[in-house]
Structures are given as C-alpha cells and as structure tokens.
Structure 1
Amino acid sequence: MKWQGRRKSANVEDRRGQSSSGGGGGGFNPMLLAPLLKFVFSKTGLIIVGIGLLISLVFGYNPLNLVANFFTETTSQSISKEGYNGSPEENEQAQFSATILASTEDVWNGILDNYKEPTLVLYSGSVTSACGSASSATGPFYCPGDEKLYLDLSFFKDMENRMNAPGDFAQAYVIAHEVGHHIQRLSGTMDKVNRLRGQISDKEFNEYSVRLELQADFLAGVWANHAQRTTKIMESGDYEEAMNAANAIGDDRLQRQSTGRVVPDSFTHGTSEQRMRWFKKGFDTGDISQGDTFSATSL
C-alpha cells in the first residue's frame, strides 16, 4: 500500500500502556483520599459540593459520591501513557492505522450526507468501552454505545503468524470492516439487529449476525474501491491480501482449525467464501446500494 506521507486522522485515541480501568470504571481508591479532601475544600470543590447537596435534596443522591466520582474520573482520565514506549514496528502500525482511518473518512464523507466520523481507540492488553471490558483476545471490535473502534495492534501480528493473513492491506481491510459497522450504526441497521436479541432463537439471531458482518465486509470493499479510484492507494497484491484475510477469518475455517469440526448454526460472521464474495462485490461495484445482505436470498 502507498500509505506513507498521507493524511492521518485526528480521531484516534491512543490508550496503549494504560490500564483498562481508566475512564472511571473501578471503585474509589483510598490513596486519593488526601488530594480529594484538598479538592473538596478548594473553591471549585465547594461549588461542586454545593451542587451535590442540592441534588441530594431533590433526588436523594449522596453528594459525596458525586465528588468522589468526579475526582476519580478526572484523575483516571489525566493518567498519561508516559513511560510507554512502543516498538518502532508498533508505532509505525499506529501511524498506519491513523492513515487508513483518515482514508475511510475521506471516502465516506464523499458518499454519505452528514457522515459522523468514528474514533479509533488503540490499546494494549485490555480496554474498557461503553460495551464493557475486553481483552486483546477479543480482536478488533466496534462499540455502538460510544461509536468507537477498538484495536490492539498485536492483532496484526496474530493475523500474520496465526492466521497466515499478512500484509498491510489485510490490516486496512480489518479497520475498514469495523468502520462498516459504524455506518450500520448510523443507518440504524445495527440497532434493528440488536433489538432482535432475545426475541428470536439463537440460531435465527446468528443468521442476522452473519448478514450484519457480511454487509460490513461489503462496505469495506466499497471503501477500497473509492480509495483506489481517488487516491491510488493500492499496489499490486493488495487486493489479494484483503481476500486472503477475509478467507482466513471465515467461521468455517476458524471452527475447523480450533475444534476440527464445523457447526453452521453457530456461525456469526459468515463462511470464508461468503466473506470473500461480499468484499469482492463491494470492491467491484463501489455502489453502497448493492450491499443489502438482509434482502439477499443467497449469501
């Protein structure tokens, strides 16, 4: 891929080296008691305590919780990743990811009216999102609750070493796929599918989940089509890298590798053949209207 020297997205939150409890997830730390008291009796603190007392009178809420939560979250958010030094390879991958995100922004802003750009969160080990906590074993994911993409860059190594899906365009496909989920969130498609959970059988819900994932693959293909036509970002072999990645993460292939057997009713992302087909359709057409996987009689 010809990605060096291109614009990098500003919508990147780098949490590498931070604890997953950052952002106000855990209980109150007693080590914060002294600075908390100092804060409470400061001018700003007195104002907040006054507001808290008013809230407690109206709603029966404990004002000390308000102050503690405010202070704890402020302190957690202010913790920097000072001292964290990623390897040169990892830092280059972070720059690469920001560049690919910028490319998706350029493409989707040109296709969709009033496109709302998502944020990419880079983390290491574990992370807390509006969808709960996750570890790097989860793999890249999109959280509709905060409209953010989450990526542990070690996944790119896993793609190369464990899945036999190397290449920078294979990595770009992964990011574009998660952006596809963001588009589904903006269109309301993701919410419609999620509302079905618990209302239909697990087998039926899995079928909807497969259609959701295949549509995200299609949208990744649409991005690749437009990015290539407008910026010539792809080089020889890039398309094959993306197709190989789609093949590597098919449910049938992953199940066969992990258990030696395939259970179609448990598929949630689609087979290797399906994932390749829908990415190819998006890439070949570049037409977002061609990606209605929910109406397709054959996937």
Structure 2
Amino acid sequence: MKWEDLQTSENIEDRRGEPGGGMMGGAGGGGIGLGTIVVLGVIGWALGINPSLLIGGADMLSRMGGGGRQVERQETQREASKPTDQMGQFVAKVMGSNEQVWSQVLPQQEGVAFRAPRLVLFDGVTNSRCGTAQSAMGPFYCPIDQKIYLDTSFFRDMKQRFGGGGDFAYAYVISHEMGHHIENLLGILPKVQRAQARAGSRAEANNLSVRVELMADCLAGVWANNGNARQRFLEEGDIEKAVASAQAIGDDRLQRAGGGRVVPDSFTHGSSAQRTEWLLRGLKSGKVDDCNTFKR
C-alpha cells in the first residue's frame, strides 16, 4: 500500500508514553479496576457477549458516582497531536484518507454531513467515555465521545497470532472503526442499541451486533474503493492481505483457535466467510447503500 502521499489527519490524539498508559487520574480514572476488567472479559467470552460492552457498561455505572465527571472534564482538555514515528504517521495518513473520502461520499450518497472523529493512540490502557480501554479489547469506536481507540500492538498480534498483516490489512482495521462512526452519523448505532435492549434472547442481540460489524467491514471497503479511485494507493497483493485478515478475525476461526466448538449464536462480529464477503462487497461497489446488512 502506497500510503506516504495520503492526506494527514489533524484528528489524532497520541497518548502513548503517558504515565499510567494514558489514564487520567490514576489507573482507575474513577472507573473500575483492572481485576474487574479481566473478570468481565472472561464472562463476556463465556456468554458470547462482546466484552467491551460489559466493561464499558460497568465502568460507566461506576462513574455515575462522580468520578466520570472529572474524567470528562479532563478529556475535553486534550489536544490533537501529530505522531512523529512511522506507525503513528501511517495511522494519521489512513485516517486522513478516510476523512477525505467520507467528507465527499457521505453527503453525496446519503445526504448526511460528515463530522470527523478523533483517533486515540494509546499503550496498554486509557480512558474513554465508554469505559476503560485496554489493548486486550482490540480497537474500538466509542459513540459517546465519537473517538476511535487503537493500541497499535493489535497489528503485531494480527500478524503473529492471527496470520493477517500488511499495511492495507491494518488500514482495513482502522477503516472498519471509521465505519462504525459512519453508522453512528447515519443513526444506525442508536437504533441497534435500542433493538438490542428489547431483544428476546442473547442470540437475537448477538445477531444485531454481527450486522453492525459486517456493515463496518463493508464501509471499510467503500473507503478503499473511493480512496483508491482518487489516489491509486493499492498495490498488488493488498486486497489478498486484507481478505486474509478478515478471515483470521472471524468469530468461527477465533473460537476454533481458542480450542472450543463453533457456536454461531454466540457470534458478535461474523464468520470468516461473512467478513470477507462484506469487505469485498464494499470494495467492489464503493456505495454505502450496498452495505445495508439489515435488509438481508
């Protein structure tokens, strides 16, 4: 992937190297402790629930006692910063390309104005308005503060543990999280959250989560289609690497790798085949409407 000439985002918040891993006000930040995070993570995996939802919910409940207000005030004081290392610059370039594409595509195709989110780079653990962010959770988007949280050690894990990797594969991960921001701007995330609250079973709630994740995969493809049409950043083998990464982080493959049996009702992100299908759908069409997983 030829990323060096892409537009650089001004919306990067680099918390790497901060004391306490970027946690404001100490390791807890007024929220839950690491021991609780570990327990909730195990419970979420066992029940087939996205651990970040449990962790974020518990942390937000904890902050209702007053600690969260301090974190919120401190968070508003943070300023965007320009990373100087190669990985940080790569992330800023991918974000910049996403901003350039979506500022045109979203109004043109959907009649919705684009507002850029911030991307927070961190090491190990940091605060978010959705709860404590830690590297074990992987990259995620918080709709409350409209920020993407990324510990780039996830890219190393993709390559070493999951068999994926390469610049375009990493760009796909970043753009998937931007896809969640697009879903939020389209009003899809709030609707899904309400539907999950009314769901009659865990399987029904999980199915809604899968649709959200697959749509974000497709929207990552929409970015790549439109961005490449403008700047021709894709190189031979890039798409294959992204597909390999989509397959590597499918729920079925991760469950097999964990030594367990495949339980489709517990999927929260989609199977390897589904993630590949929707990524390629967006790559081929470049249209947001082709990513509507809720019509299928």
Q: Same fold judged by TM-score > 0.5?
A: yes
1:111 aligns with 2:110: no
1:96 aligns with 2:90: yes
Distance 1:295 1:22, change over 3 A: same
User: Which residue identity lines up with residue 149 of structure 1 in the other structure?
Assistant: I
Quick check: 2:247–2:273 contact (8 Å CA) kept in 1?
yes
Quick check: 1:23–1:76 contact (8 Å CA) kept in 2?
no
Quick check: 2:165–2:242 contact (8 Å CA) kept in 1?
no
Distance 1:5 1:137, change over 3 A: same
2:37 alignment counterpart: none
1:185 aligns with 2:179: no
1:58-106 per-position Cα deviation (integer Å, ceiling 9, x unaligned): xxxxxxx9xx959x96699689x9xxxx9x9xx2111100000000011
Q: Distance in 2 between matches of 1:263 and 1:143?
A: 27
2:133 alignment counterpart: 134
1:269-288 per-position Cα deviation (integer Å, ceiling 9, x unaligned): 00000000001011111111
User: Which residue identity lines up with residue 92 of structure 2 in the other structure?
Assistant: A
Q: CA deviation at 1:26?
A: 3.5
User: Which residue identity lines up with residue 104 of structure 2 in the other structure?
Assistant: G
CA RMSD, aligned part only? 2.7
Higher alpha-carbon Rg = 1
Q: Distance in 1 between matches of 2:193 and 2:75?
A: 34
Give the length in aligned residue pairs. Answer: 249
Secondary structure of 1:112 counterpart: helix
Secondary structure of 2:258 counterpart: helix
1:285 aligns with 2:279: no
1:36 alignment counterpart: none
Q: Distance in 2 between matches of 1:223 and 1:282?
A: 8
2:55 alignment counterpart: none
Quick check: 2:7–2:100 contact (8 Å CA) kept in 1?
no
Q: Structure 2 length as normaliser, TM-score?
A: 0.78
Q: CA deviation at 1:259?
A: 2.5
1:222 aligns with 2:222: yes
5 Å-filtered alignment, 1:30-45, equals none
Q: CA deviation at 1:231?
A: 0.5
Q: Which runs of 5+ in 1 are unaligned?
A: 28-64
Q: Structure 1 length as normaliser, TM-score?
A: 0.78
Query: Which ranges of 4 or more aligned residues in structure 1 deviate by more than 3 Å?
Result: 23-27, 72-79
2:294 alignment counterpart: 294
Secondary structure of 2:150 counterpart: strand
5 Å-filtered alignment, 1:97-176, equals 97-113=91-107, 114-176=113-175
Q: CA deviation at 1:23?
A: 6.7
Secondary structure of 1:13 counterpart: strand
Identity over aligned residues, as a percent?
Answer: 49
Distance 1:4 1:134, change over 3 A: same
Distance 1:198 1:228, change over 3 A: same
Quick check: 1:176–1:223 contact (8 Å CA) kept in 2?
yes
1:168-188 per-position Cα deviation (integer Å, ceiling 9, x unaligned): 000000000000000001111
2:212 alignment counterpart: 212
2:276 alignment counterpart: 276
